[in-house]
Structure 1
Amino acid sequence: MWKLYAVLSALFAALTAILAKLGIKGVDSNLATAIRTVVIVFLAWSVAFLSGGLNGISSLTKQNWIFLLSSGLATGLSWLFYYKAISLGPVSQVAPIDKSSIVITLILSFFVLGEQFSLKTLLAGLLISAGTFLMLWN
Protein backbone atom coordinates (compact mmCIF):
# COMPACT_ATOMS: atom_id res chain seq x y z
CA MET A 1 0.00 0.00 0.00
CA TRP A 2 2.91 2.36 0.68
CA LYS A 3 3.86 2.24 -3.00
CA LEU A 4 0.44 3.55 -4.01
CA TYR A 5 0.81 6.41 -1.53
CA ALA A 6 4.29 7.14 -2.91
CA VAL A 7 2.96 7.28 -6.47
CA LEU A 8 0.11 9.56 -5.38
CA SER A 9 2.66 11.75 -3.60
CA ALA A 10 4.69 12.05 -6.81
CA LEU A 11 1.57 12.86 -8.83
CA PHE A 12 0.46 15.61 -6.47
CA ALA A 13 4.02 16.96 -6.17
CA ALA A 14 4.07 17.31 -9.96
CA LEU A 15 0.70 19.05 -9.91
CA THR A 16 2.02 21.31 -7.14
CA ALA A 17 4.85 22.52 -9.34
CA ILE A 18 2.63 23.26 -12.33
CA LEU A 19 -0.21 24.85 -10.35
CA ALA A 20 2.25 26.92 -8.31
CA LYS A 21 3.96 28.24 -11.43
CA LEU A 22 0.58 29.22 -12.87
CA GLY A 23 -0.55 30.82 -9.60
CA ILE A 24 2.62 32.71 -8.73
CA LYS A 25 2.58 35.06 -11.74
CA GLY A 26 2.72 38.61 -10.41
CA VAL A 27 2.65 37.41 -6.78
CA ASP A 28 5.43 37.70 -4.21
CA SER A 29 6.84 34.20 -3.67
CA ASN A 30 6.67 34.54 0.12
CA LEU A 31 2.99 35.51 -0.02
CA ALA A 32 2.33 32.55 -2.33
CA THR A 33 4.06 30.23 0.13
CA ALA A 34 2.03 31.65 3.02
CA ILE A 35 -1.26 31.11 1.16
CA ARG A 36 -0.25 27.55 0.25
CA THR A 37 0.71 26.89 3.85
CA VAL A 38 -2.67 27.99 5.20
CA VAL A 39 -4.37 25.52 2.87
CA ILE A 40 -2.00 22.74 3.94
CA VAL A 41 -2.45 23.50 7.65
CA PHE A 42 -6.24 23.38 7.29
CA LEU A 43 -6.11 20.15 5.25
CA ALA A 44 -3.64 18.40 7.56
CA TRP A 45 -5.50 19.27 10.77
CA SER A 46 -8.83 18.30 9.19
CA VAL A 47 -7.49 14.89 8.18
CA ALA A 48 -5.90 14.38 11.61
CA PHE A 49 -9.17 15.31 13.32
CA LEU A 50 -11.42 13.22 11.08
CA SER A 51 -9.16 10.15 11.26
CA GLY A 52 -8.84 10.26 15.05
CA GLY A 53 -5.15 11.07 14.85
CA LEU A 54 -5.41 13.83 17.45
CA ASN A 55 -5.87 11.21 20.17
CA GLY A 56 -2.12 10.49 20.06
CA ILE A 57 -0.98 14.06 20.67
CA SER A 58 -0.65 13.60 24.43
CA SER A 59 1.70 10.64 23.94
CA LEU A 60 4.28 12.59 21.93
CA THR A 61 7.69 12.62 23.57
CA LYS A 62 10.12 15.53 23.76
CA GLN A 63 12.15 13.82 21.02
CA ASN A 64 9.02 13.51 18.83
CA TRP A 65 8.35 17.23 19.24
CA ILE A 66 11.95 18.24 18.51
CA PHE A 67 12.19 16.19 15.32
CA LEU A 68 8.67 16.99 14.08
CA LEU A 69 9.15 20.73 14.65
CA SER A 70 12.58 20.56 12.99
CA SER A 71 11.04 18.71 10.05
CA GLY A 72 8.38 21.41 9.80
CA LEU A 73 11.06 24.09 9.78
CA ALA A 74 12.96 22.26 7.03
CA THR A 75 9.74 21.87 5.03
CA GLY A 76 8.92 25.55 5.38
CA LEU A 77 12.38 26.61 4.25
CA SER A 78 12.18 24.18 1.33
CA TRP A 79 8.85 25.68 0.23
CA LEU A 80 10.10 29.26 0.57
CA PHE A 81 13.17 28.52 -1.56
CA TYR A 82 11.16 26.45 -4.05
CA TYR A 83 8.59 29.18 -4.62
CA LYS A 84 11.33 31.77 -4.98
CA ALA A 85 13.11 29.55 -7.52
CA ILE A 86 9.98 28.93 -9.63
CA SER A 87 9.11 32.62 -9.53
CA LEU A 88 12.51 33.39 -11.09
CA GLY A 89 13.17 30.39 -13.32
CA PRO A 90 11.50 27.75 -15.46
CA VAL A 91 9.74 25.06 -13.45
CA SER A 92 11.08 22.48 -15.92
CA GLN A 93 14.57 23.24 -14.62
CA VAL A 94 13.74 24.06 -11.00
CA ALA A 95 11.88 20.77 -10.45
CA PRO A 96 14.80 18.47 -11.36
CA ILE A 97 17.11 20.37 -9.03
CA ASP A 98 14.47 20.20 -6.30
CA LYS A 99 14.05 16.46 -6.87
CA SER A 100 17.78 15.94 -6.45
CA SER A 101 16.71 15.89 -2.81
CA ILE A 102 16.10 12.19 -3.51
CA VAL A 103 19.85 11.62 -3.78
CA ILE A 104 20.54 13.75 -0.70
CA THR A 105 17.89 11.74 1.17
CA LEU A 106 19.57 8.48 0.14
CA ILE A 107 22.92 9.73 1.42
CA LEU A 108 21.44 11.01 4.70
CA SER A 109 19.45 7.80 5.21
CA PHE A 110 22.73 5.89 5.00
CA PHE A 111 24.70 8.10 7.41
CA VAL A 112 21.97 9.25 9.81
CA LEU A 113 19.54 6.32 9.84
CA GLY A 114 22.00 3.53 9.07
CA GLU A 115 19.95 2.28 6.12
CA GLN A 116 21.93 0.15 3.70
CA PHE A 117 22.25 0.70 -0.04
CA SER A 118 21.70 -2.12 -2.44
CA LEU A 119 23.49 -2.03 -5.77
CA LYS A 120 20.12 -1.14 -7.34
CA THR A 121 19.67 1.83 -4.96
CA LEU A 122 23.19 3.07 -5.62
CA LEU A 123 22.72 2.80 -9.38
CA ALA A 124 19.32 4.55 -9.20
CA GLY A 125 20.85 7.41 -7.20
CA LEU A 126 23.64 7.79 -9.75
CA LEU A 127 21.13 7.78 -12.62
CA ILE A 128 18.96 10.39 -10.89
CA SER A 129 22.05 12.57 -10.40
CA ALA A 130 23.13 12.09 -14.01
CA GLY A 131 19.60 12.84 -15.25
CA THR A 132 19.44 16.04 -13.22
CA PHE A 133 22.76 17.26 -14.60
CA LEU A 134 21.78 16.24 -18.14
CA MET A 135 18.51 18.19 -17.96
CA LEU A 136 20.32 21.31 -16.76
CA TRP A 137 23.20 21.13 -19.22
CA ASN A 138 22.85 23.85 -21.83
Structure 2
Amino acid sequence: MRLRASGKASKTQRRVVCVRRVKHWKCSATTMPYLVRLADRALRDMEAIYEFIDAEASENAFAWFNDLAREIYSLERFPERGAVTRESTKLRHLLFGKKPSTYRIIYAVDKRKHLVNVLHIRHGARAALSTKGKKQM
Protein backbone atom coordinates (compact mmCIF):
# COMPACT_ATOMS: atom_id res chain seq x y z
CA MET A 1 0.00 0.00 0.00
CA ARG A 2 1.14 3.49 -0.81
CA LEU A 3 0.82 6.41 1.51
CA ARG A 4 -0.60 9.71 0.41
CA ALA A 5 1.04 13.00 1.30
CA SER A 6 -1.52 13.29 4.11
CA GLY A 7 -0.33 10.01 5.60
CA LYS A 8 -3.48 8.04 4.76
CA ALA A 9 -3.24 4.80 2.88
CA SER A 10 -4.09 4.90 -0.84
CA LYS A 11 -6.13 2.03 -2.22
CA THR A 12 -5.27 2.72 -5.84
CA GLN A 13 -2.11 1.44 -7.37
CA ARG A 14 -0.19 2.99 -10.17
CA ARG A 15 0.30 0.73 -13.10
CA VAL A 16 2.92 1.37 -15.69
CA VAL A 17 1.85 0.16 -19.08
CA CYS A 18 4.18 0.11 -22.03
CA VAL A 19 2.37 0.78 -25.27
CA ARG A 20 3.94 0.25 -28.62
CA ARG A 21 2.79 2.80 -31.16
CA VAL A 22 1.51 1.33 -34.37
CA LYS A 23 1.03 3.30 -37.55
CA HIS A 24 -2.31 2.52 -39.13
CA TRP A 25 -1.68 4.05 -42.54
CA LYS A 26 -0.08 2.11 -45.33
CA CYS A 27 2.58 4.57 -46.37
CA SER A 28 4.25 6.72 -43.78
CA ALA A 29 6.71 8.22 -46.22
CA THR A 30 6.06 11.69 -47.58
CA THR A 31 3.98 11.65 -50.71
CA MET A 32 5.37 12.88 -53.97
CA PRO A 33 4.35 16.51 -54.49
CA TYR A 34 2.08 17.37 -57.39
CA LEU A 35 3.08 19.84 -60.07
CA VAL A 36 0.83 22.92 -60.04
CA ARG A 37 0.16 24.50 -63.44
CA LEU A 38 -1.84 27.65 -64.06
CA ALA A 39 -3.84 27.72 -67.28
CA ASP A 40 -3.70 30.87 -69.41
CA ARG A 41 -7.11 31.88 -68.11
CA ALA A 42 -5.97 31.49 -64.49
CA LEU A 43 -2.90 33.64 -65.22
CA ARG A 44 -5.14 36.32 -66.73
CA ASP A 45 -7.36 36.08 -63.66
CA MET A 46 -4.34 36.56 -61.38
CA GLU A 47 -3.22 39.62 -63.37
CA ALA A 48 -6.73 41.09 -63.23
CA ILE A 49 -6.94 40.53 -59.47
CA TYR A 50 -3.51 42.12 -59.00
CA GLU A 51 -4.61 45.22 -60.90
CA PHE A 52 -8.06 45.34 -59.28
CA ILE A 53 -6.73 45.33 -55.71
CA ASP A 54 -3.94 47.75 -56.73
CA ALA A 55 -1.30 45.55 -55.14
CA GLU A 56 1.56 47.82 -56.21
CA ALA A 57 0.23 50.74 -54.18
CA SER A 58 -0.74 48.93 -50.98
CA GLU A 59 1.38 46.66 -48.78
CA ASN A 60 -1.72 44.95 -47.41
CA ALA A 61 -3.06 44.25 -50.90
CA PHE A 62 0.35 42.95 -51.98
CA ALA A 63 0.50 40.64 -48.92
CA TRP A 64 -3.05 39.41 -49.63
CA PHE A 65 -2.11 38.67 -53.25
CA ASN A 66 0.98 36.75 -52.13
CA ASP A 67 -1.17 34.73 -49.72
CA LEU A 68 -3.49 33.89 -52.63
CA ALA A 69 -0.52 32.68 -54.69
CA ARG A 70 0.82 30.70 -51.72
CA GLU A 71 -2.60 29.06 -51.27
CA ILE A 72 -2.66 28.06 -54.94
CA TYR A 73 0.81 26.53 -54.83
CA SER A 74 0.04 24.73 -51.57
CA LEU A 75 -2.07 22.41 -53.73
CA GLU A 76 1.15 20.60 -54.59
CA ARG A 77 1.01 18.96 -51.14
CA PHE A 78 -2.74 18.53 -50.61
CA PRO A 79 -4.44 18.62 -54.02
CA GLU A 80 -7.67 16.90 -52.99
CA ARG A 81 -8.49 19.09 -50.02
CA GLY A 82 -10.81 21.29 -52.06
CA ALA A 83 -14.48 20.44 -52.42
CA VAL A 84 -15.97 19.08 -55.63
CA THR A 85 -17.57 21.91 -57.60
CA ARG A 86 -21.26 22.14 -58.38
CA GLU A 87 -20.40 22.62 -62.06
CA SER A 88 -18.59 19.31 -62.54
CA THR A 89 -17.54 16.32 -60.45
CA LYS A 90 -14.17 16.37 -62.22
CA LEU A 91 -13.37 19.84 -60.89
CA ARG A 92 -12.55 20.97 -57.37
CA HIS A 93 -12.49 24.40 -55.82
CA LEU A 94 -10.68 26.03 -52.96
CA LEU A 95 -12.07 29.11 -51.28
CA PHE A 96 -9.68 31.90 -50.37
CA GLY A 97 -10.31 35.11 -48.46
CA LYS A 98 -12.99 36.41 -46.17
CA LYS A 99 -16.41 37.70 -47.16
CA PRO A 100 -17.08 39.82 -49.12
CA SER A 101 -13.75 39.17 -50.89
CA THR A 102 -13.87 35.38 -51.22
CA TYR A 103 -12.33 33.89 -54.35
CA ARG A 104 -12.86 30.42 -55.82
CA ILE A 105 -9.78 28.68 -57.16
CA ILE A 106 -11.14 26.11 -59.62
CA TYR A 107 -8.79 23.28 -60.52
CA ALA A 108 -8.57 19.71 -61.78
CA VAL A 109 -6.38 16.96 -60.33
CA ASP A 110 -4.69 14.36 -62.52
CA LYS A 111 -3.60 11.63 -60.10
CA ARG A 112 -1.84 9.58 -62.75
CA LYS A 113 0.45 12.44 -63.78
CA HIS A 114 0.66 14.02 -60.29
CA LEU A 115 -0.58 17.26 -61.79
CA VAL A 116 -2.88 20.03 -60.56
CA ASN A 117 -4.27 22.26 -63.32
CA VAL A 118 -5.57 25.55 -61.97
CA LEU A 119 -8.19 26.52 -64.51
CA HIS A 120 -9.88 29.64 -63.21
CA ILE A 121 -9.90 32.05 -60.27
CA ARG A 122 -13.24 33.80 -59.79
CA HIS A 123 -14.82 36.03 -57.21
CA GLY A 124 -17.13 34.03 -54.96
CA ALA A 125 -20.09 36.34 -55.61
CA ARG A 126 -20.12 35.50 -59.31
CA ALA A 127 -22.64 33.00 -60.67
CA ALA A 128 -21.66 29.38 -61.29
CA LEU A 129 -19.84 28.57 -64.50
CA SER A 130 -22.07 28.13 -67.52
CA THR A 131 -21.53 25.33 -70.02
CA LYS A 132 -19.94 27.93 -72.30
CA GLY A 133 -17.52 28.91 -69.53
CA LYS A 134 -16.64 25.27 -68.86
CA LYS A 135 -15.85 24.69 -72.54
CA GLN A 136 -13.50 27.68 -72.59
CA MET A 137 -11.44 26.16 -69.81
Which band: TM-score by shorter chain?
Answer: under 0.3
TM-score by length of 2: 0.27
**Structure with more relative contact order (C-alpha pairs < 8 Å, separation 6 or more):** 1
Larger Rg: 2
More helix by share: 1
TM-score of the aligned structures, taking structure 1 as reference length: 0.26
Determine which structure has the larger strand proportion and give its number. Answer: 2
